[in-house]
Amino acid sequence: MDTAPLTELAPALSALDGAVRAAAPGRPSPGRLVRVEVPAPPVCPLEWLAAQSSVTRYYWRDRAGLFENAGLGEADVASPADGPETPSELFAHLRRHLPEGPGEGRYYGGFRFQPGNGRPTQWREFLGYRFVAPLLELHRKRGRTTLAATLRADDRGSLRGAADAARAALAAVGLMEPERPSPPRVLSREDLPDRAHWEKMVARALAAFDRGKLEKVVLARETRFTTDRELDPVAVLRRLVRSTRHSFCFCFHPARDRAFLGASPERLLRRSGRLLESEAVAGTCPRDADPEADASLAEALLASEKDRREQGLVTAALRAVFDRLCGAVEADPEPGLLTLLHCRHLRTRISGMLRENADDGALLEAFHPTPAVGGTPRDRALDWIAREEPFDRGLYAAPVGWVARDGLEFCVAIRSGLVRGDTLTVYNGAGVVPGSVPAEEWAEIETKMRNFLRVLRHDGQEHGA
């Protein structure tokens, strides 16, 4: 869709300032969020976010591009320090604070893949989970753009302090179009595990299959790029979005020198009312610039016994969850193709109507981690990953998304990376099953990494779009 220049947002900023000032005398219950919204011109939320100097920035765009939200600052943060220990307790906590009535009040955030494995970690700021209601938001849904502020009532039920903070943030909003700097140049690259260690890990997994201990395990790799400058996470995200299609795009930037971002093709779950949706994504082949060769690669993926077996394990696990929780379950009769810019995957979509009101925390725990990012049997695969992988996955392959009063959506945070100062650490994985070849699984991860490779310069060559 056509977008407006940032300068056209000035009247909406003024209108929102007035609306926040008018809301300040309100007396909601302590801790309750109050959302104030005004219509806005069709400014691109991501470009608006890139123009801001706020230390804390947040972004979410759904896979279809119908819903997009850019956030500045933090009206409220939920973390383990607040008390909730389980996903069910957390979601109940969030919904006690969300605004009542119509509107788009949501918390955005995610969970760790699993508790830390005792190895040194880069993920301390993200804790076991972290969810944020942004202070200011530019929100686009189905072609309608809204500028909003979220105010949190203090312990006495007063909004005045929150209103003052929101008005100060509004006054600091920048309306200059963001620059498009040249992509960062890579100074060094480090893979963990390296190629030799990777092949030994795969060999040990294949031996575990032979002993009947595992049916599948997903092995991940951490690739660290040190660059020639301090990285702006939103600038990295802008380039990533331009080199990605059919993906959930996200950025969580809670501290100046640390941000988690990515472009994941895989939905974990979405609930709207009683409708529950998920999908089984597994199996990978690269794309080719030649149309005939590209079509041949797609046909080979659909016919691959190894890839269909791997994807079938994911489908069976998800189908078992749906059959237990839902009636009227619908699923694609055969795996189809999920086509991205740099690769394709096999995908089976599944949906159903929940038999009764859902406990969203129980739903999340039933789905995560699927065999697409963990393995089969689940507990044995997770133990194997914690023991064998030489790094902490943190938020990689974990559930990230949003929670509203009447629903939620989470993607699987694959094709993701952690920005720290001048370093971009990228995470990708490959499913290992009987018959896997270590060199082919290594190459599959290289294919999955292409969208991140395009945001950087390598040996003087610009890969960015």
Q: pLDDT per residue over 265-312, tens digit each? A: 999 999 999 999 999 999 899 999 999 999 999 999 999 999 999 999
192-196 contacts at long range (C-beta below 8 A, 24 or more positions apart): 192/221, 192/222, 192/223, 192/224, 192/390, 192/391, 193/221, 193/389, 193/390, 195/442
Is the Cα dihedral 139, 145, 151, 152 positive or negative? Answer: negative
Q: What is the pLDDT of residues 213-225, one digit of tens each?
A: 899 999 999 999 9
Q: Which of 99-108, 161-170, 383-392, 395-404 has the lowest mean pLDDT?
A: 99-108
Judged by DSSP in three states, 369 sits in coil
Residue-wise DSSP of 65-97: SSEEEEEES-SEEE-GGGS--SHHHHHHHHHHH
Q: Which fold has domain 6-171?
A: Anthranilate synthase (3.60.120)
CB-based contact 341:243 (threshold 8 Å)? yes
| Mean pLDDT, all residues of the chain | 92
Which of 266, 279, 441, 444 is catalytic? The answer is: 266
pLDDT of 116 reads 62
Give the C-alpha separation, 453 to 193, whole Å: 18
Residues, the chain: 465
pLDDT of 183 reads 92
Confidence label for 465 from pLDDT (cuts 50, 70 and 90)? very low
Question: Exposed/middle/buried for 273, CB within 10 Å: 0-12, 13-18, 19+?
Answer: exposed
Residues of the chain above pLDDT 90, percent: 83
Give the C-alpha separation, 322 to 335, whole Å: 17
pLDDT of 257 reads 83
130 Cβ contact list (under 8 Å, min separation 6): 77, 78, 79, 109, 110, 252, 254
Name the β-bridge partners of 145: 140
Which of 37, 68, 215, 216 is catalytic? The answer is: 216
CB-based contact 230:243 (threshold 8 Å)? no
CB atoms within 10 A of CB 328: 9
Give the C-alpha separation, 268 to 280, whole Å: 9
Summarize the confidence of residues 79-100 as an average pLDDT: 90
pLDDT of 117 reads 56
Known catalytic membership, residue 213: no
Look up residue 353 and give its two tokens. 């109507």
Give the C-alpha separation, 151 to 34, whole Å: 5
Architecture of domain 186-250+272-462: 4-Layer Sandwich (3.60)
Known catalytic membership, residue 125: no
The structure's pTM equals: 0.94
Q: What is the pLDDT of residues 403-450, one digit of tens each?
A: 999 899 999 999 999 999 999 999 999 999 998 999 999 999 999 998
Confidence label for 464 from pLDDT (cuts 50, 70 and 90)? very low
Judged by DSSP in three states, 197 sits in helix
pLDDT of 414 reads 96
pLDDT of 462 reads 44
Q: For the chain, give percent helix, strand, coil, nearest 5.
A: 30, 35, 35
Summarize the confidence of residues 41-54 as an average pLDDT: 95
Look up residue 276 and give its two tokens. 């529950």
Distances (CA, A) of 1 to 43, 105, 323: 10, 24, 40
Per DSSP, helices labelled H in 172-328 are 195-210, 233-242, 291-303, 305-325
CB-based contact 94:403 (threshold 8 Å)? yes
Give the C-alpha separation, 275 to 128, whole Å: 28
Does position 19 have pLDDT exceeding 90, yes or no? yes
Judged by DSSP in three states, 364 sits in helix
pLDDT of 342 reads 87
CB-based contact 145:42 (threshold 8 Å)? yes
CB-based contact 397:410 (threshold 8 Å)? no
Q: Cite the residue boundaries of each domain of the chain with CATH code 3.60.120.10.
A: 6-171, 186-250+272-462
Judged by DSSP in three states, 267 sits in strand
Q: Can you say how many angstroms the Cα of residue 213 is from the centroid of all Cα atoms in its chain?
A: 31
Say which amino acid occupies 358. A
- Return the closest-CA partner of residue 371 out of 216, 197, 229: 216
- Residue whose pair of structure tokens reads 């003087």 in the numeric block: 460
CB-based contact 381:216 (threshold 8 Å)? yes
Give the C-alpha separation, 322 to 328, whole Å: 9
